[in-house]
Amino acid sequence: MSKPKLFEPLRVRNLALDNRIVIAPMCQYSCDADGRANDWHAIHLGHLALSGAGLLTIEATAVVPEGRITWADLGLWDDATEDALRDVLKRVRAFSDMPIAIQLAHAGRKASCETPWAGGHQLPPKDAHGWQTVSASAQPHYPHEHAPVALDRAGMDRIRDAFAESAKRAARIGIDAVQIHAAHGYLLHQFLSPLSNTRTDEYGGSLENRMRFPLEVFDAVRAAFPADRTVTVRVSGTDWMDGGWDVEQTIAFAKALEARGCDAIHISSGGVAAEQKIPLGPGYQVPLARAVKHAVTMPVVAVGLINDPEHAEAILGNGDADIIALARAFLYDPRWPWRAAVKLGGHVRPPKQYLRSEPRQDRGLFKVPEKVSPAAHWSADEA
């Protein structure tokens, strides 16, 4: 059996990935109203860091308090949030050397919400947990919501600089890579899409104008984050709406990012229009990734209901993407890479404490860490 592409290593600037499996960022909505990482994040990230994936990405992390999706979102905007996340990472990295990235984000008009299990609705500024939102233009996501304030130049500068400052904080605590969130209808996507951006200044109208602020943010982050570390972008490949953001515009944005030093692009979709009709199904976003991959040379990440290992392998084998990202599949099955390795004939590197869990019928699945005897797999009564 030939070596599966899903388990081929890949280097992306400083990232040496053991395989092409990436754990996508997944919001946990589990901070107190202060944006600080806590014991839940240590447990959540800790067990994912033992999964055998090539890269773990920390959830959407707000660069300013008003950039949070919900009042309970993770943040990285001051010394307190930096110290809290540093402590979590210290505990995770005591037992895993998996590369760790962080997604930096601002929710724009989709901010100031209740947690999903409490309804997920937007909270008005007068609510104890709510605040005034901002966006490219002063139109809400849903008609009944409190309208955002259209950002002026000073407001855009503050947010751009906040992205850069958060990137510096991420570097200080040892984060290996930064992903800029420009997808799912959040602030940077709100600037990109003509459905949410109705500005008449140099940041609205033409594609060049609508890309301007997201590219300014990218440039600021790239300049702030160490030059030898990776910066990537997540983008929605389409709004799934007539007259909205589409794959052709995504390609133009991807080319502009690559020219500025972007190391990889993660192709998702939707999120900016309440009326969107998304044709959900296995790999429904892969055609978007394929179109972008044919237009750029940087690695392209495919994501979206790719739950079967053979499907993931086929996407890579067909040349539709370079990396496969999974999110909720990892919440359900934190050892997804182990199962994929068994199915495809690959190998994973478990923590030494789990070496003895290798099934008899799958001997050879585990890469034995250096300085650990292969005999550590089995005790005398198990051999």
Could you list the active site residues? 186
> Are the beta carbons of 347 and 366 closer than 8 angstroms?
yes
Q: In whole angstroms, how far apart are CA 365 and each of 117, 259, 361?
A: 38, 40, 9
* Tokens describing residue 250: 């995504």
Block residue for tokens 């979709």: 269
In sequence order, which residues have a C-beta less than 8 Å from that of residue 178 and are 6 or more positions away?
A: 101, 102, 103, 104, 167, 170, 221, 225, 229, 230, 231, 232
Max Cα distance, the chain (Å): 75
- Strand partners for 56: 23, 100
Nearest-CA neighbor of 93 among 135, 138, 48? Answer: 48
Give the relative orientation of helices 39-48 and 79-93 as an angle to the nearest 10 degrees: 40
CA-atom Rg of the chain in angstroms:
21
> Are the beta carbons of 52 and 99 closer than 8 angstroms?
no
Pairing of strands 177-182, 149-150: unpaired
> Are the beta carbons of 169 and 76 closer than 8 angstroms?
yes
d(CA 141, CA 272): 7
> Are the beta carbons of 115 and 174 closer than 8 angstroms?
no
- Strand partners for 134: 149
In sequence order, which residues have a C-beta less than 8 Å from that of residue 222 and are 6 or more positions away?
A: 231, 260, 261, 262
d(CA 8, CA 233): 23
